[in-house]
Amino acid sequence: MIQEQDAQALRYREARFTAMFQQSPIGKTLVDLQGRFAEVNPRLCEILGYTAEELRQKTFSDVTYPEDLAADLNLVADLMFNRRQTYSLEKRYIHKDGHLVWVAIDVTLVRDGAGNPLHFIAAVHDIRQRKEHEALRLNYQTELERRVQERTLELQSSRETLQTITDNLPILIAQVDCNLCYRFNNDVYRQIFNIDPKTLLGKPLTAMLRPELYRELLPCFQRALAGERVSHDNIQYSLEQDRIWSATYIPDVRHGEVVGFYVMSQDVTERKRAEKALVDKAMLDPLTGLPNRRALHDRLEQVIAAARHDGVPFTLFFLDLDGFKLANDTHGHEGGDEILKQVARRLGQAIRKDDFISRLAGDEFVIIASGVASEAICSRIAKSVCDAINVPFSLPDGPAKIGTSVGIALSSTTDNLSAESIMARADAAMYTAKRKGRNNYQFASGSAELPHNVRPITLRKQED
């Protein structure tokens, strides 16, 4: 009976994995060791303009823009020789009709139990729109630089006229000599920093920039004096002002010699806020307000890095709700959604303030407890979670009773400390908890090997 249930669960997981692969909003493909497309999903076909059958007759080299192929092949070699586990790359594909398509790819090499390479798995993100926006911003910046340079060269003989023009441009403009001293500042310095620009003439940049900011920007100054146009983002000139600036340093070349550089700084605070709001929105589950799969990926990478480099342990709890499908069928989808919202709130109340909670998908949740390496503490956390979820949920059409099974994986007992391995181990422990009666918790074993009936857990970044 148990074997039949396991077989049914395996078929269900395989069907769910196939559905996720085919219905993913990003391109996904399985590539064999000869570089041929073995499996492709509809989104990748849409990005490249080929049918699935046409792509299966091609290799990734066939559709990669020749100038981008060498970098891709070098990274593939790194995977084959185990110099890295995954790689990410921005590159250009050649669409079926001949035009170029900018994509960002995330590639992983899958190996068998003996460590032999089997095939590659790649996620392909269409970034054409972002590249178009970058090109527009670059064109705008280039045009702005061109205009300022033209005006500066034309009006060098008349500082008063130059001052009048630059004072009315909505950007910080300065001229710096090869000794890193100010030769010119527009009146925007007065408006932003309450400093008379005339008092800065002849003074070193250290008179204006605090020491840590000067050290941060010094490489840009040096590159500009070497004749290179340089840009630097996320500059905070004043700690008293919550303003973010983007600066460009343009070499001042006269008679073939660099005699200094020009500084043009734009206030990009509102753009940065808008970008952050978009990122924040993309990192949250719209139903529960919890961090989503993408946010979980980022947090896991952070705690794994801290564990590897600083020895900071962490524990991952994998939760799957018991009886949720029955409750969802009984109370309808609205009732099911309300349960998930209440689960999110109860989890926040049941765990420590600094612990991280994420909704992975459906009725699956993940908790990351940083700094926790004790099984006793983990047991208390897991019991608190189980007790919190086991309390009946109040719904408009009556109470609903569910539970949760929890799998626990400690970073200190993980041989291969990676996001995929620790997630898979916690997931396996969760299924063990379900088999042992549900609404309880189970610790993962110390081995990194997984039973054959345990699904692989993938956490590559994707749209949720």
Q: 5-8 long-range CB contacts below 8 Å, 24 or more apart?
A: 6/453
Lookup result for tokens 């290179």: 228
The yes/no answer on whether domain 131-272 falls in CATH 1.20.58.220 is no
Neighbouring CB atoms inside 10 A of 294's CB total: 19
Per-residue pLDDT of the chain (464 residues; tens, 9 = 90+): 556 655 565 555 555 556 667 888 889 999 999 999 999 999 999 999 999 999 999 999 999 999 999 999 999 999 999 999 999 999 999 999 999 999 999 999 999 989 999 999 999 999 888 888 887 888 888 888 888 777 766 655 555 555 555 655 668 889 999 999 999 888 888 877 888 888 999 999 998 899 999 999 999 999 999 999 999 988 888 887 788 889 999 999 999 999 999 998 888 888 777 766 656 666 788 899 899 988 899 899 999 998 888 889 999 999 999 999 999 999 999 999 999 999 999 999 988 888 999 998 899 999 999 999 889 999 999 999 999 999 999 999 999 999 999 999 998 766 668 889 899 999 999 999 999 888 899 999 854 333 333 344 445 433 33
Total-model pTM: 0.44
Phi, psi of 173 (to 5 degrees): -125, 135
Tell me what pLDDT residue 448 has. Answer: 37
Domain boundaries, the chain: 25-126, 131-272, 283-443
CA atoms of 393 and 388, how far apart (whole Å) = 10
In the three-class reduction of DSSP (H, G, I as helix; E, B as strand; rest coil), residue 460 is classed as coil
Fold category of 283-443 in CATH: Alpha-Beta Plaits (3.30.70)
Tell me what pLDDT residue 165 has. Answer: 56
CA atoms of 203 and 175, how far apart (whole Å) = 12
CA atoms of 366 and 321, how far apart (whole Å) = 11
Tell me what pLDDT residue 268 has. Answer: 85
Phi, psi of 440 (to 5 degrees): -150, -175
Do domains 25-126 and 283-443 share one topology? The answer is no
Cα Rg of the chain, angstroms: 28
Neighbouring CB atoms inside 10 A of 309's CB total: 8
The yes/no answer on whether domain 25-126 falls in CATH 3.30.450.20 is yes
Tell me what pLDDT residue 427 has. Answer: 94
CA atoms of 409 and 421, how far apart (whole Å) = 10
CA atoms of 448 and 450, how far apart (whole Å) = 6
Q: Quickly list DSSP for 199-248.
A: GGTT-BGGGTS-HHHHHHHHHHHHHHHTT--EEEEEE-S-TTS---EEEE
Phi, psi of 318 (to 5 degrees): -105, 120
